[in-house]
Amino acid sequence: MEVFANFKDLFLSVWEKGFFGINIFQILVGLGIFFLFLVFRGLISKLIIKKIEIITKRTSNKLDDTLVRAMEGPAKFLPIVLGFFLASYYISFSEETREFVENINRTLITILIFWIIHQIVEPVSYILSGLDKILTRELIGWIIKSFKILIFILGAAAVLELWGIKIGPIIAGLGLFGVAVALGAQDLFKNLISGILVLVEKRFKVGDWIHVEGIIEGIVERIGFRSTTIRKFNKSLAIIPNFQFAENAVINVSQTTNWLVSWIITLQYDTTVDQLKIIRDQIENYIKSNKDFNQKIGYAVRVDKFSDSSIDMYIRCFTNSDDWDNWLEVKERLAIEIKQIVEKNGASFAFPSQSIYVEKK
């Protein structure tokens, strides 16, 4: 019986002192509190958040939908913070351990606060949608990403300060490291600055058809910090460094409002002056009277020069359409009309030829 009595005394002693001087009963209650909040976290995810999402989907405003999605992560993290806080305050820690636990609580709360701020940045972008007239959508996206990175850095710095880690020397070290990196990554910064200039100056946006002489032509799919992704017309993907768009002329074909038709038609040298005048006037009348062409910009139909094997007539006009397919159709109709006019007036188109004269002795 004495053995059982000793075992009972030992058991009660361990039960009271527990781990690190903490009563095991308190530990079990603390764990119970924490797991209770974990269950509550699951309820938040399955019931409350989903119910709110259903309500917000009924509205036409996208801001509330984005806000609910953004707050889903912090909402699930909040019960963990509260559960650990209440469980830690129920348990009687020693002074040294209490200070350590307090730091954990401050850390969790700090993470929660900066996480909420980080997530709110995205819904705020909908409020900034009215700035599309001043800033491009891509530049606004860059600004939002920069804010998120800044918030993450500030949050990390705040957590480090809580644990007594001074960030001043770290920043100083990163400054020296940054100088070394900057010297070896000049192209990276050049591309970054060029990308910002492209967005600020609104040279092009995602979905635009652009052409850079001798470099690329295609549809813009993404404008990144260092490079721009362009889908060529053969469906291949090209990654172009941003400095190419800052140092070279960029033609934004999508912004074309009036497509140009600029031709030289060649007539044979046996074409008479009267034929030339009639052909010129009839082509000009066709352009002038046709709604396919913009009269305000101007047009020109003139005998241009005498080439080696032809009389050249210059034709220049602009279409009313900003659509590339329609431009091809207008050009086709103009080409057919010119051919009919030339043939109707008994003239012929010239082709490169040479006359050889043999001298008889």
Residues 152, 101: one domain? Answer: yes
The single-letter code of the amino acid at 228 is T
**pLDDT tens for residues 236-254?**
999 888 888 877 888 888 8
Count the neighbouring beta carbons within 10 Å of the beta carbon of residue 205.
Answer: 19
Task: Please state, in angstroms and rounded to a whole number, the distance separating the CA atoms of residues 252 and 319.
Answer: 17
CATH number of the domain within which 299 lies = 3.30.70.100
pLDDT value for 102: 84
Is 311 in contact with 228 (CB distance < 8 Å)?
Answer: no
Residues 161 and 72 occupy one common structural domain: yes
Residue 350 lies in a domain: no
Which residues are CB-neighbours of 306 under 8 A, at least 6 positions away? 312
pLDDT in tens, 145-175: 778 888 888 888 888 887 777 666 656 555 5
Q: What is the pLDDT of residue 37?
A: 75
Both 232 and 283 in one domain: the answer is: no
pLDDT at 267: 93
**Across all residues in the chain, what is the average pLDDT?**
78
What the block records as the tokens of 184 is 């070896």
User: Domain for residue 2, yes or no?
Assistant: no
Residue 70: predicted pLDDT: 74
The answer on 127 and 12 residing in a single domain is yes
Return the C-alpha torsion angle 244, 249, 253, 255, nearest 10.
110
Strand pairing category for 237-241 and 250-252: unpaired
Cβ proximity of 331 and 290 under 8 Å: no
CB 307 within 8 A of CB 265: no
152 shares a domain with 26: yes
* Structural domain total, the chain: 3
pLDDT of residue 47: 66
Under DSSP, is residue 202 helix (H, G, I), strand (E, B) or coil? coil
> What's CA 188's distance to the chain center, in Å?
18
- Please report, in tens digits, the pLDDT of each residue of the chain (361 residues total): 565 565 555 555 555 555 555 666 666 677 777 787 777 776 766 666 666 666 666 666 666 667 777 777 787 788 888 888 887 777 766 676 777 888 888 888 888 888 888 888 777 666 665 555 556 666 667 777 778 888 888 888 888 887 777 666 656 555 544 554 555 556 666 777 777 777 777 778 888 889 988 888 999 998 877 788 999 988 899 988 888 887 788 888 888 888 889 999 999 998 999 999 999 999 999 999 888 898 888 889 999 999 888 999 999 999 888 888 888 999 999 999 999 999 999 999 988 766 666 776 6
Residue 265 CB contacts under 8 Å (≥ 6 apart), including other chains: 312, 313, 315, 338, 342, 349
**Quick one: 280 and 221 in the same domain?**
no
Tens digits of residue pLDDT in 251-270: 888 888 888 899 999 999 98
Q: Does residue 217 share a domain with residue 91?
A: no
Pairing state of beta strands 209-212 and 216-223?
A: antiparallel
Range of the domain at 305: 260-344
Clarify whether residues 39 and 88 are in a common domain.
Answer: yes
Is residue 154 assigned to a domain? Answer: yes
Predicted pLDDT at 130 = 56
Q: Is residue 218 part of a domain?
A: yes
| Same structural domain, 26 and 148 | yes
Q: Looking at residue 284, what is its pLDDT?
A: 92
Instruction: Report the largest interatomic distance among the alpha carbons of the chain, rounded to a whole angstrom.
Output: 151
Q: Of 222, 252, 282, at which residue does a domain stop?
A: 252
> Are 83 and 131 part of one and the same domain?
yes
Tokens of 348: 């012929």
Cα(254)–Cα(297) distance, integer angstroms: 19
Task: Indicate if the alpha-carbon torsion angle 104, 106, 107, 112 is positive or negative.
Answer: positive
